[in-house]
């Protein structure tokens, strides 16, 4: 089993929010793109938070929108041995120096962890953040997390406090409408 290496940090220097995953899955590594697997709900969940249909855009357009919204992406694990894409199979992990986010990004106000592995590892690496930086645990956007989309989206919309003024947004209701089949309409 070979070592898998993660993707580089993606962010502008004025990023206010970072979303950190564990280690990209095989589809993402093969495509050299964050959250490339078609069943991963990352782009739809984040789209609910910033009120944009990110999943309909090209990857380059998605990254441009994140940059405009001052959102950065990275992972807590730099490299590891792992058969397949499940976090539970990660072995011999080397970590990214995510604690440097606290000093390298002076506008940073939030670090969100996409899934329990990212949260567990990330919180240990960061320790106690400065008072102006919040740490947020998100339900994993992976299809392996079978929690309903609406439940995930409810937690993910908490990210809006770092990127948009606080206002009501019914992402879960919109998603439910999109999830219905023609027979349901």
What DSSP string runs through 89-138? G-EEEEE--GGGHHHH-TT--EEEEESHHHHHHHHHHH-S--TT-EEEEE
Q: Which position among 40, 96, 114, 145 bears the catalytic label?
A: 40
40 is catalytic: yes
**Tokens standing for residue 163:** 């990127």
Sequence-separated (6 or more) residues with CB below 8 Å from residue 147: 139
Contact 29, 80 (CB under 8 A): no
- 98: which 2 tokens? 């995510």
Residue 164 is classified by DSSP as S
Cα dihedral angle (149, 154, 155, 159), rounded to 10 degrees?
110
Q: What angle do CA 181, 147, 87 make, to 5 degrees?
A: 125
Catalytic residues: 40
């Amino acid at each position: 089993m070979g070592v898998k290496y993660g993707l580089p940090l993606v962010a502008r220097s004025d990023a206010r929010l970072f979303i950190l995953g564990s280690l990209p899955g095989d589809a993402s590594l093969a495509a050299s793109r964050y959250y490339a697997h078609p069943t991963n709900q990352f782009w739809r969940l984040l789209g609910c938070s910033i009120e944009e249909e990110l999943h309909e855009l090209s990857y380059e357009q998605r990254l441009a929108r994140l940059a405009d919204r001052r959102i950065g992406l990275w992972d807590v694990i730099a490299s590891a041995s792992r058969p397949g894409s499940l976090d539970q199979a990660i072995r011999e992990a080397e970590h990214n120096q995510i604690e440097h986010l606290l000093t390298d990004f002076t506008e940073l106000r939030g670090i969100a962890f996409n899934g329990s592995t990212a949260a567990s590892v990330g919180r240990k690496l960061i320790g106690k953040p400065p008072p102006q930086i919040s740490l947020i645990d998100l339900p994993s956007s992976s299809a392996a997390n079978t929690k309903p989309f609406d439940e995930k989206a409810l937690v993910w919309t908490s990210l809006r406090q770092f990127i948009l003024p606080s206002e009501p947004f019914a992402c879960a209701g919109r998603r439910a409408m999109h999830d219905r089949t023609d027979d349901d309409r």
